[in-house]
Amino acid sequence: MRRMSLFVLAIAAGSLTVGSTAQTPPAKPTGPRPIEHFAELPALVGPKLSPDGKRIAAQVAIKGKQYFAILSVEGQTPPRLIGTGKGDLNWWRWVNDDWLVVGIGDKVPVANVGEWYIRRAVGVGASDGKIVPLVARNAAQTADDVIWTARDGTPRALIAYQTSIYSNDPNFWPQVDEVDVSTGKTKRVVGPREGVMTWVADGRGVVRMGIGSSLDGRQRRVLYRHDAGQDFTTIVKARTHKDNYVVPASFLADPTKALAMADDADGFGGLYEYDLTKLELGKRLYGSKGFDLGGYVLNDARDGLTGITYDDDTSRTEWIDPDMVALQAEVQGFVKNGRVAILNYSRDHSRAIVDVGATNSPGAFYLYDRPTKDMRLLAYGNAAIRSARLNPIRTIRYKARDGLEIAAILTLPKGKSNNLPLIVLPHGGPFARDAEEWDWWTQFLAERGYAVVQPNYRGSSGYGTQFTVKGQGQWGLAMQDDLNDAVAQLAKDGIADPKRVCIVGASYGGYAAMRAAQRDPGVYRCAVSYAGVSDLPRLRRYDSQFLNSGARSDWLKLQAADFKAVSPIFSPEKTAIPLLLVHGKADTVVPIAQSREMAERLREAGKDVTYIEQPLGDHHFTRGEDRLEFLRALQAFLDKHNPA
């Protein structure tokens, strides 16, 4: 008999407790939900089940801040919070039943060259919270590239890392060590090779491939060997932004075969077999017409295929392994009119972490126990909203002025569909995309009466190579036209009031908002930028301190023919609508100077600008109080300049 029970992560008075509780539905709001509901951090982020299915590693939210924690599935021991310092917690993965490896990073001053972003890996003991620095004594700037973990129960991993910050030192190029995560003891596996920055291992832990580049990142080469003990040979030489090349991505149990991602004849990314005897692509295994394949899921031994991921109007996994197909059917049977995604599972597939939700609901994480057919609630995605369905979402398609078809995500206030005030919300990246999924920004805005459109403008990912290429050289130009054309289409359809439109965005989306404030004041009444880019030449200089900056510079050159002409900071006098700028001082992706100096120039030009600095804010809104401050400022700004 199937049953539903609760295993709820509860936060009260700053303490984290695990236990059983009853599902008491929250009181139904009589009007728009409070701002605080949307500013709430997810109680659980990135939960990963241990191989034996007895523990969960995840980020948890306590009093508006996120912490790394180890949770006992059976609730026999209290959750253990793990201190990883003030830097970023970038990723975590289980090595065996008792040990994890965790990637952390932070900006630190280096010699006389300024601040660098330094990456480190640490071992974490699941039972006692012990933290073991890995390769820390000799490591230079990048030391968190875990390329393999053992599958025999031992706490072993392969880590590639640099031991010098100086490019004329042979040790600037990463070596590969086998590391005992529980003790930090290391054993050299592959020494540094000039030009090789990335190493790839097969499922057995044999380093088979090295991907290298010149110091500026403009020249690329690939080294390969069939097995340990053999010499590496060069199989690819290419120019990063000019030559097309395909390399193995994952090695299969058959020593003559690998997997590779490549474009088909129509330019859409698919999964191919790669022949290691001929060093060339074989047959196409999987793909999706009209969309790039999202990726693939390997088996536990990492030498075979378990599933593939698709990104069409939404994101989903299609399982290939028969047992995973059966597991998906089992958990789907618990849910009516909702989406179920298996995130990860124990080695024997007896337990799985499942995400249950909908496009307009934050949903919840569940633990499925297969032998007992028990679905236990771990945590709601949003404890205030829980599983409530808010404002409806759908994909629309429209023609840009040059005939290019653009897909966009449209969110409408529940029960409303005509003559609405509109928010255009372009995504960041810009090589990224929006899909039909829960989004706290769009739902916050729709709850307050706005239609929200998220165009996947030219240059967005997932729609094939040609669609991406159409974005080259079009920052601030045709990419902006795509946003404006969405407004025109929604006005034509009677959904949007063309006289009540505001543009809001973050990162590249923030750039698009600032650009629109100067270029298209006839389309928009106001603009909002969070962590946006205002000065492309300055961004290029900032990027120059990072490795492979030449390749990054080449990529930026392709995005705009004239940086100054499309950089908002150089034309503050052209800003013709009110502008709200918000930026966090702890942002390591887009420096705060991009907003701070833009605000100064706008004030000097006598423009209507509101500027907010968040002292502890980062690029990803990992603090609840920063989310709340932003949403309050956003609502006040919209109430004044584009009221619903």
CB 390 within 8 A of CB 360: yes
Q: pLDDT averaged over the chain?
A: 89
Q: Which residues pair with 46 in a beta bridge?
A: none
pLDDT of amino acid 242? 57
d(CA 638, CA 526): 8
pLDDT of amino acid 133? 93
Q: How confident is the model at residue 218 (pLDDT cuts 50, 70, 90)?
A: low
If you average pLDDT over residues 338-359, what whole number do you get?
95
Q: pLDDT digits over 198-216, tens only?
A: 999 999 999 999 998 766 5
pLDDT of amino acid 117? 84
Q: Minimum mean pLDDT among 52-56, 75-79, 438-442, 589-593: which range?
A: 75-79
Give just the sign of the alpha carbon dihedral 257, 259, 262, 264. Answer: positive
Q: How far is CA 448 from CA 255, 379, 422, 468, in A?
A: 58, 26, 11, 34
pLDDT of amino acid 18? 26
Mind spelling out the 3-state secondary structure of 472-493? CCCCCCHHHHHHHHHHHHHHHC
pLDDT of amino acid 256? 93
If you average pLDDT over residues 75-98, what whole number do you get?
84
Give just the sign of the alpha carbon dihedral 255, 294, 346, 207. Answer: positive
CB 123 within 8 A of CB 146: no
Q: For residues 372 and 1, which has the higher predicted lDDT (pLDDT)?
A: 372
Exposed, middle or buried, 334 (CB in 10 Å: 0-12/13-18/19+)?
middle
CB 8 within 8 A of CB 377: yes
Q: Which two tokens stand for residue 160?
A: 């590639």
If you average pLDDT over residues 406-422, what whole number do you get?
97
Could you tell me the pTM of the whole model? 0.89
DSSP secondary structure letters along 183-212: T--EEEEE---TTEEEEEE-TTS-EEEEEE
Domains of the chain: 1-82+321-385 (no CATH), 393-641 (3.40.50.1820)
List own/partner pairs for 108-113 with CB under 8 A and 24 or more apart: 110/141, 110/165, 111/165, 113/545
Exposed, middle or buried, 3 (CB in 10 Å: 0-12/13-18/19+)?
exposed
pLDDT of amino acid 8? 39
Q: pLDDT digits over 288-339, tens only?
A: 888 999 999 999 999 999 999 988 888 899 999 999 999 999 999 999 888 9
**Does position 544 have pLDDT exceeding 70, yes or no?**
no
By percentage, how much of the chain surpasses pLDDT 90?
73
Residues 6+ apart with CB under 8 A from 216: 548, 549, 550, 551
Q: How confident is the model at residue 556 (pLDDT cuts 50, 70, 90)?
A: low
Backbone angles phi, psi at 136, to 5 degrees: -70, -30
d(CA 458, CA 468): 6
